[in-house]
Amino acid sequence: MAKKGKMVEERPIEPRFSVRWLAEWYWTLLTAGGLAVVLSGWQIWNKLNQEELWRREIPTPLYFYLAAGLLLCGATYAVRYLLGVEVAVAFQRRQVHKEARALRKEARRCLRWHGRRLSSGVRGEVEGAVKAIDQALAPLKDASDWGRLEVAMATLDGAIDQHLAFARKSSMRESVESVGGAVLIALLLRAFVFEAFKIPSGSMIPTLQVGDHLFVNKFIYGIRLPWPFDETEFGKAHQKFFMDLRKPQRGEVIVFKYPKDPDKDFIKRIVAVEGDQLEIKENQLVINGQAIERVSLGPCEYDDFKEDTGRWEHDQCESFRETLDSHPFTAIYERGRATQSWPSWTVPPGHVFVMGDNRDNSHDSRYWGFVPFELIKGKAMFIWWSSGEPEGIRIGRMGHAVE
Protein backbone atom coordinates (compact mmCIF):
# COMPACT_ATOMS: atom_id res chain seq x y z
CA MET A 1 0.00 0.00 0.00
CA ALA A 2 1.43 3.29 -0.92
CA LYS A 3 1.53 5.85 1.84
CA LYS A 4 -0.51 8.91 1.38
CA GLY A 5 1.68 12.01 1.42
CA LYS A 6 0.56 15.36 2.76
CA MET A 7 -0.44 17.98 0.23
CA VAL A 8 1.98 20.90 0.47
CA GLU A 9 0.64 24.25 -0.69
CA GLU A 10 3.21 25.99 -2.85
CA ARG A 11 3.58 29.62 -1.81
CA PRO A 12 3.83 32.21 -4.54
CA ILE A 13 7.22 33.84 -4.90
CA GLU A 14 7.41 37.25 -3.25
CA PRO A 15 10.16 39.45 -4.80
CA ARG A 16 12.40 41.14 -2.25
CA PHE A 17 12.93 44.92 -2.23
CA SER A 18 16.22 44.80 -4.19
CA VAL A 19 14.58 42.77 -6.97
CA ARG A 20 11.62 45.17 -7.15
CA TRP A 21 14.09 48.06 -7.38
CA LEU A 22 15.96 46.28 -10.18
CA ALA A 23 12.73 45.73 -12.11
CA GLU A 24 11.93 49.45 -11.78
CA TRP A 25 15.34 50.66 -12.96
CA TYR A 26 16.51 47.76 -15.15
CA TRP A 27 16.35 49.50 -18.53
CA THR A 28 17.62 52.77 -17.10
CA LEU A 29 20.70 51.02 -15.68
CA LEU A 30 21.36 49.17 -18.96
CA THR A 31 20.94 52.38 -20.96
CA ALA A 32 23.28 54.34 -18.69
CA GLY A 33 25.90 51.60 -18.81
CA GLY A 34 25.55 51.21 -22.58
CA LEU A 35 25.94 54.96 -23.15
CA ALA A 36 29.05 55.04 -20.98
CA VAL A 37 30.57 52.17 -23.00
CA VAL A 38 29.67 53.62 -26.41
CA LEU A 39 30.74 57.20 -25.67
CA SER A 40 33.99 56.36 -23.90
CA GLY A 41 34.85 53.72 -26.51
CA TRP A 42 34.17 56.22 -29.28
CA GLN A 43 36.47 58.78 -27.62
CA ILE A 44 39.26 56.22 -27.18
CA TRP A 45 38.93 55.08 -30.80
CA ASN A 46 39.12 58.67 -32.07
CA LYS A 47 42.24 59.38 -30.04
CA LEU A 48 43.96 56.22 -31.25
CA ASN A 49 43.27 57.20 -34.86
CA GLN A 50 44.58 60.75 -34.65
CA GLU A 51 47.77 61.51 -36.54
CA GLU A 52 49.81 63.17 -33.78
CA LEU A 53 51.60 60.65 -31.59
CA TRP A 54 51.21 62.66 -28.39
CA ARG A 55 47.43 62.53 -28.75
CA ARG A 56 47.50 58.74 -28.52
CA GLU A 57 47.97 58.99 -24.78
CA ILE A 58 44.48 58.05 -23.59
CA PRO A 59 43.31 59.90 -20.44
CA THR A 60 42.75 57.59 -17.49
CA PRO A 61 39.13 58.76 -16.91
CA LEU A 62 38.12 57.33 -20.29
CA TYR A 63 39.26 53.86 -19.22
CA PHE A 64 37.38 54.33 -15.95
CA TYR A 65 34.14 55.29 -17.76
CA LEU A 66 34.51 52.30 -20.10
CA ALA A 67 35.09 49.89 -17.20
CA ALA A 68 32.25 51.40 -15.15
CA GLY A 69 29.83 51.07 -18.08
CA LEU A 70 30.79 47.45 -18.71
CA LEU A 71 30.53 46.67 -15.00
CA LEU A 72 27.10 48.30 -14.71
CA CYS A 73 25.72 46.43 -17.73
CA GLY A 74 27.26 43.14 -16.64
CA ALA A 75 26.11 43.39 -13.02
CA THR A 76 22.58 44.37 -14.01
CA TYR A 77 22.21 41.48 -16.44
CA ALA A 78 23.88 39.01 -14.04
CA VAL A 79 21.45 39.83 -11.21
CA ARG A 80 18.52 39.36 -13.56
CA TYR A 81 19.91 36.00 -14.71
CA LEU A 82 20.72 34.71 -11.20
CA LEU A 83 17.38 35.77 -9.73
CA GLY A 84 15.41 35.01 -12.87
CA VAL A 85 12.13 33.83 -11.31
CA GLU A 86 11.93 36.65 -8.79
CA VAL A 87 12.81 39.22 -11.41
CA ALA A 88 10.19 37.82 -13.80
CA VAL A 89 7.52 38.15 -11.11
CA ALA A 90 8.66 41.70 -10.35
CA PHE A 91 8.56 42.63 -14.04
CA GLN A 92 5.08 41.13 -14.39
CA ARG A 93 3.78 43.02 -11.38
CA ARG A 94 5.30 46.25 -12.64
CA GLN A 95 3.49 45.77 -15.95
CA VAL A 96 0.21 44.97 -14.17
CA HIS A 97 0.55 48.10 -12.04
CA LYS A 98 1.18 50.20 -15.15
CA GLU A 99 -1.81 48.70 -16.98
CA ALA A 100 -4.06 49.24 -13.94
CA ARG A 101 -3.20 52.93 -13.76
CA ALA A 102 -3.73 53.30 -17.52
CA LEU A 103 -7.09 51.53 -17.33
CA ARG A 104 -8.21 53.73 -14.45
CA LYS A 105 -7.18 56.84 -16.39
CA GLU A 106 -9.06 55.64 -19.47
CA ALA A 107 -12.23 54.96 -17.43
CA ARG A 108 -12.14 58.41 -15.86
CA ARG A 109 -11.64 60.02 -19.27
CA CYS A 110 -14.59 58.11 -20.72
CA LEU A 111 -16.82 59.07 -17.78
CA ARG A 112 -15.77 62.71 -17.99
CA TRP A 113 -16.58 63.06 -21.69
CA HIS A 114 -19.33 60.51 -22.20
CA GLY A 115 -20.75 59.79 -18.74
CA ARG A 116 -23.89 61.85 -19.44
CA ARG A 117 -24.88 59.30 -22.08
CA LEU A 118 -25.10 56.55 -19.45
CA SER A 119 -27.96 55.83 -17.10
CA SER A 120 -27.36 56.50 -13.41
CA GLY A 121 -27.17 52.79 -12.68
CA VAL A 122 -24.63 52.05 -15.40
CA ARG A 123 -22.56 55.09 -14.45
CA GLY A 124 -22.57 53.93 -10.84
CA GLU A 125 -21.39 50.47 -11.96
CA VAL A 126 -18.41 51.92 -13.84
CA GLU A 127 -17.58 54.33 -11.01
CA GLY A 128 -17.71 51.42 -8.55
CA ALA A 129 -15.26 49.46 -10.71
CA VAL A 130 -12.93 52.46 -10.77
CA LYS A 131 -13.16 52.73 -6.98
CA ALA A 132 -12.30 49.04 -6.69
CA ILE A 133 -9.13 49.70 -8.72
CA ASP A 134 -8.25 52.55 -6.34
CA GLN A 135 -8.71 50.32 -3.31
CA ALA A 136 -6.75 47.46 -4.87
CA LEU A 137 -3.82 49.74 -5.75
CA ALA A 138 -3.46 51.02 -2.19
CA PRO A 139 -1.81 48.11 -0.30
CA LEU A 140 -0.16 45.73 -2.80
CA LYS A 141 1.84 43.99 -0.09
CA ASP A 142 1.66 40.36 -1.19
CA ALA A 143 0.37 38.01 -3.90
CA SER A 144 -3.24 38.19 -2.68
CA ASP A 145 -3.27 41.97 -3.12
CA TRP A 146 -2.00 41.61 -6.67
CA GLY A 147 -4.68 38.97 -7.29
CA ARG A 148 -7.41 41.38 -6.14
CA LEU A 149 -5.94 44.06 -8.44
CA GLU A 150 -6.12 41.75 -11.44
CA VAL A 151 -9.75 40.88 -10.62
CA ALA A 152 -10.62 44.57 -10.30
CA MET A 153 -8.91 45.29 -13.62
CA ALA A 154 -10.89 42.56 -15.37
CA THR A 155 -14.13 43.92 -13.89
CA LEU A 156 -13.41 47.50 -14.98
CA ASP A 157 -12.24 46.42 -18.44
CA GLY A 158 -15.45 44.45 -18.93
CA ALA A 159 -17.61 47.37 -17.76
CA ILE A 160 -15.92 49.74 -20.22
CA ASP A 161 -16.28 47.22 -23.07
CA GLN A 162 -19.96 46.75 -22.27
CA HIS A 163 -21.03 50.36 -21.74
CA LEU A 164 -18.32 52.65 -23.15
CA ALA A 165 -16.80 50.70 -26.04
CA PHE A 166 -17.60 53.59 -28.42
CA ALA A 167 -15.37 55.90 -26.37
CA ARG A 168 -12.30 53.67 -26.24
CA LYS A 169 -9.22 54.63 -28.24
CA SER A 170 -7.43 52.16 -30.46
CA SER A 171 -3.82 51.32 -29.64
CA MET A 172 -2.76 53.05 -32.86
CA ARG A 173 -4.58 56.24 -31.91
CA GLU A 174 -3.08 56.21 -28.41
CA SER A 175 0.42 55.77 -29.84
CA VAL A 176 -0.05 58.58 -32.35
CA GLU A 177 -1.44 60.92 -29.69
CA SER A 178 1.39 60.11 -27.28
CA VAL A 179 4.12 60.67 -29.86
CA GLY A 180 2.41 63.75 -31.29
CA GLY A 181 1.93 65.25 -27.84
CA ALA A 182 5.57 64.65 -26.91
CA VAL A 183 6.78 66.23 -30.17
CA LEU A 184 4.49 69.25 -29.71
CA ILE A 185 5.65 69.80 -26.14
CA ALA A 186 9.30 69.51 -27.22
CA LEU A 187 8.76 72.06 -30.01
CA LEU A 188 7.00 74.49 -27.68
CA LEU A 189 9.71 74.16 -25.05
CA ARG A 190 12.40 74.78 -27.65
CA ALA A 191 10.56 77.75 -29.14
CA PHE A 192 9.65 79.57 -25.94
CA VAL A 193 11.40 78.06 -22.91
CA PHE A 194 14.73 76.23 -23.37
CA GLU A 195 17.12 75.66 -26.25
CA ALA A 196 20.34 73.65 -26.44
CA PHE A 197 23.53 75.44 -27.44
CA LYS A 198 27.05 74.13 -28.13
CA ILE A 199 30.21 76.10 -27.35
CA PRO A 200 32.31 76.16 -30.56
CA SER A 201 35.22 78.37 -29.46
CA GLY A 202 37.34 79.25 -26.43
CA SER A 203 36.23 82.86 -26.00
CA MET A 204 34.47 82.04 -22.70
CA ILE A 205 37.21 79.88 -21.16
CA PRO A 206 37.38 79.04 -18.25
CA THR A 207 33.65 79.53 -17.58
CA LEU A 208 32.73 77.55 -20.68
CA GLN A 209 34.97 75.07 -22.47
CA VAL A 210 34.97 74.15 -26.15
CA GLY A 211 32.59 71.20 -26.45
CA ASP A 212 30.27 72.22 -23.60
CA HIS A 213 26.59 71.73 -24.40
CA LEU A 214 24.26 73.89 -22.36
CA PHE A 215 20.63 74.90 -22.01
CA VAL A 216 19.55 78.48 -22.56
CA ASN A 217 16.58 80.03 -20.75
CA LYS A 218 14.69 81.77 -23.57
CA PHE A 219 11.83 83.38 -21.63
CA ILE A 220 13.76 85.12 -18.85
CA TYR A 221 14.08 88.35 -20.86
CA GLY A 222 10.60 88.16 -22.37
CA ILE A 223 8.68 85.93 -24.76
CA ARG A 224 10.35 85.62 -28.15
CA LEU A 225 8.28 84.45 -31.11
CA PRO A 226 10.04 81.62 -32.98
CA TRP A 227 9.42 83.08 -36.44
CA PRO A 228 10.99 86.37 -37.62
CA PHE A 229 8.90 89.05 -39.27
CA ASP A 230 10.15 92.41 -37.98
CA GLU A 231 12.44 94.25 -40.36
CA THR A 232 15.29 95.97 -38.50
CA GLU A 233 18.74 97.30 -39.31
CA PHE A 234 19.99 93.74 -38.71
CA GLY A 235 17.54 92.23 -41.18
CA LYS A 236 14.64 90.03 -40.15
CA ALA A 237 14.22 89.97 -36.35
CA HIS A 238 12.00 88.07 -33.91
CA GLN A 239 9.24 89.96 -32.14
CA LYS A 240 9.63 89.97 -28.33
CA PHE A 241 7.07 90.72 -25.64
CA PHE A 242 7.33 91.63 -21.93
CA MET A 243 11.00 92.58 -22.27
CA ASP A 244 10.66 95.24 -19.55
CA LEU A 245 9.71 92.69 -16.86
CA ARG A 246 13.25 91.32 -16.54
CA LYS A 247 16.04 93.19 -18.33
CA PRO A 248 19.54 91.72 -18.83
CA GLN A 249 21.86 92.35 -15.90
CA ARG A 250 25.62 92.79 -15.50
CA GLY A 251 27.51 89.54 -15.09
CA GLU A 252 24.96 87.31 -16.83
CA VAL A 253 26.10 85.01 -19.64
CA ILE A 254 23.80 85.37 -22.65
CA VAL A 255 23.31 83.82 -26.08
CA PHE A 256 22.49 86.34 -28.79
CA LYS A 257 22.46 86.82 -32.54
CA TYR A 258 25.68 88.40 -33.77
CA PRO A 259 24.70 91.96 -34.84
CA LYS A 260 27.00 91.84 -37.89
CA ASP A 261 25.56 88.50 -39.05
CA PRO A 262 22.24 87.56 -37.35
CA ASP A 263 22.46 84.04 -38.77
CA LYS A 264 25.25 83.31 -36.24
CA ASP A 265 24.77 82.81 -32.49
CA PHE A 266 27.34 84.17 -30.01
CA ILE A 267 27.72 83.63 -26.27
CA LYS A 268 29.36 86.26 -24.04
CA ARG A 269 29.09 87.89 -20.62
CA ILE A 270 27.29 91.17 -20.07
CA VAL A 271 29.72 93.68 -18.52
CA ALA A 272 27.63 96.84 -18.93
CA VAL A 273 23.93 97.60 -19.41
CA GLU A 274 21.99 100.52 -20.86
CA GLY A 275 23.09 103.84 -19.41
CA ASP A 276 26.44 102.54 -18.11
CA GLN A 277 29.70 104.26 -18.90
CA LEU A 278 32.38 101.63 -19.37
CA GLU A 279 36.13 102.08 -19.55
CA ILE A 280 38.99 99.57 -19.59
CA LYS A 281 42.24 100.70 -17.96
CA GLU A 282 45.12 98.20 -18.19
CA ASN A 283 42.68 95.26 -18.31
CA GLN A 284 40.68 96.65 -15.37
CA LEU A 285 36.96 97.18 -15.99
CA VAL A 286 35.71 100.55 -14.75
CA ILE A 287 31.93 100.98 -14.72
CA ASN A 288 30.44 104.39 -14.02
CA GLY A 289 33.77 105.52 -12.59
CA GLN A 290 34.04 102.55 -10.20
CA ALA A 291 36.60 99.78 -10.79
CA ILE A 292 35.02 96.33 -10.39
CA GLU A 293 36.28 93.94 -7.71
CA ARG A 294 39.27 92.01 -9.04
CA VAL A 295 41.64 89.51 -7.34
CA SER A 296 44.62 87.80 -8.99
CA LEU A 297 44.54 83.99 -8.96
CA GLY A 298 47.97 83.55 -10.54
CA PRO A 299 49.20 81.57 -13.56
CA CYS A 300 46.93 79.12 -15.37
CA GLU A 301 46.84 76.82 -18.41
CA TYR A 302 44.10 75.72 -20.76
CA ASP A 303 43.45 73.82 -24.00
CA ASP A 304 41.69 75.64 -26.82
CA PHE A 305 40.42 74.57 -30.23
CA LYS A 306 41.65 76.97 -32.90
CA GLU A 307 38.97 77.29 -35.56
CA ASP A 308 41.38 78.71 -38.14
CA THR A 309 43.74 75.70 -37.97
CA GLY A 310 41.30 73.03 -36.81
CA ARG A 311 43.71 71.94 -34.06
CA TRP A 312 43.82 71.91 -30.28
CA GLU A 313 46.55 74.03 -28.69
CA HIS A 314 47.83 74.37 -25.13
CA ASP A 315 48.03 77.98 -23.91
CA GLN A 316 49.44 79.79 -20.86
CA CYS A 317 47.39 82.44 -19.04
CA GLU A 318 46.97 84.66 -15.98
CA SER A 319 43.66 84.36 -14.12
CA PHE A 320 41.66 86.88 -12.09
CA ARG A 321 38.53 86.51 -9.98
CA GLU A 322 36.20 89.34 -10.93
CA THR A 323 32.75 90.27 -9.62
CA LEU A 324 30.06 92.11 -11.55
CA ASP A 325 27.23 93.00 -9.17
CA SER A 326 26.44 89.62 -7.55
CA HIS A 327 28.09 87.50 -10.25
CA PRO A 328 31.62 86.27 -9.43
CA PHE A 329 33.54 84.64 -12.29
CA THR A 330 37.08 83.96 -13.52
CA ALA A 331 38.59 85.95 -16.38
CA ILE A 332 41.89 85.04 -18.04
CA TYR A 333 44.52 86.92 -20.07
CA GLU A 334 47.42 85.69 -22.18
CA ARG A 335 50.54 85.27 -20.07
CA GLY A 336 53.28 87.73 -20.98
CA ARG A 337 51.03 89.95 -23.07
CA ALA A 338 51.00 93.67 -22.31
CA THR A 339 47.91 95.05 -20.59
CA GLN A 340 45.43 96.93 -22.74
CA SER A 341 43.42 100.11 -22.27
CA TRP A 342 40.36 101.12 -24.26
CA PRO A 343 38.47 104.41 -24.59
CA SER A 344 35.20 104.76 -22.74
CA TRP A 345 31.79 103.69 -24.09
CA THR A 346 28.32 104.78 -23.03
CA VAL A 347 25.80 101.99 -23.53
CA PRO A 348 22.70 103.30 -25.34
CA PRO A 349 19.12 102.44 -24.23
CA GLY A 350 17.96 98.96 -25.19
CA HIS A 351 21.53 97.61 -25.56
CA VAL A 352 24.21 95.77 -23.58
CA PHE A 353 27.99 95.58 -23.82
CA VAL A 354 29.42 92.03 -23.81
CA MET A 355 32.87 90.50 -23.45
CA GLY A 356 34.31 86.99 -23.34
CA ASP A 357 35.98 85.70 -20.16
CA ASN A 358 39.03 84.76 -22.26
CA ARG A 359 39.70 88.46 -22.68
CA ASP A 360 42.61 88.37 -25.14
CA ASN A 361 40.93 85.76 -27.34
CA SER A 362 37.38 87.04 -27.66
CA HIS A 363 35.68 88.80 -30.56
CA ASP A 364 33.18 90.93 -28.65
CA SER A 365 31.68 94.41 -28.17
CA ARG A 366 35.12 96.00 -27.99
CA TYR A 367 35.46 95.34 -31.72
CA TRP A 368 31.95 95.45 -33.20
CA GLY A 369 29.74 97.37 -30.75
CA PHE A 370 26.67 96.87 -28.60
CA VAL A 371 24.05 94.09 -28.58
CA PRO A 372 20.39 95.21 -28.96
CA PHE A 373 17.88 93.62 -26.60
CA GLU A 374 15.89 92.20 -29.52
CA LEU A 375 18.87 90.07 -30.61
CA ILE A 376 19.26 88.40 -27.19
CA LYS A 377 17.98 84.80 -27.30
CA GLY A 378 18.34 83.97 -23.61
CA LYS A 379 20.48 83.37 -20.53
CA ALA A 380 22.87 80.42 -20.21
CA MET A 381 21.68 78.11 -17.43
CA PHE A 382 23.64 74.85 -17.00
CA ILE A 383 25.84 72.36 -18.86
CA TRP A 384 24.15 69.06 -19.73
CA TRP A 385 26.99 67.47 -21.74
CA SER A 386 30.70 68.18 -22.29
CA SER A 387 33.49 66.55 -24.28
CA GLY A 388 36.81 67.76 -25.65
CA GLU A 389 40.58 67.70 -25.28
CA PRO A 390 42.49 66.48 -23.43
CA GLU A 391 40.23 64.42 -21.15
CA GLY A 392 37.55 63.40 -23.64
CA ILE A 393 34.23 63.13 -21.81
CA ARG A 394 34.09 65.69 -18.99
CA ILE A 395 31.79 64.05 -16.45
CA GLY A 396 32.63 66.68 -13.80
CA ARG A 397 31.19 69.52 -15.91
CA MET A 398 27.81 67.91 -16.53
CA GLY A 399 25.08 69.55 -14.48
CA HIS A 400 27.36 72.50 -13.69
CA ALA A 401 25.50 75.83 -13.48
CA VAL A 402 26.91 78.69 -15.58
CA GLU A 403 28.14 81.44 -13.27
Distance CA 354, CA 366 (A): 8
Give yes or no: 257 in active site.
no
Distance CA 262, CA 359 (A): 23
Question: What is the 3 state secondary structure string of 126-192?
Answer: HHHHHHHHHHHHCCCCCHHHHHHHHHHHHHHHHHHHHHCHHHCCCHHHHHHHHHHHHHHHHHHHHHH
Give yes or no: 203 in active site.
yes
Amino acid at 351: H
Residue 33: burial class (beta carbons within 10 Å; 0-12, 13-18, 19+): buried
Distance CA 283, CA 78 (A): 59
Distance CA 90, CA 33 (A): 22
Which residue in 47, 218, 268, 377 is the catalytic one? 268
Peptide bond into 348 cis (omega under 30): no
Q: Which of 307, 294, 374, 303 is nearest to 339 (CA)?
A: 294
Which residue in 203, 319, 362, 365 is the catalytic one? 203
Which residues are catalytically annotated?
203, 268
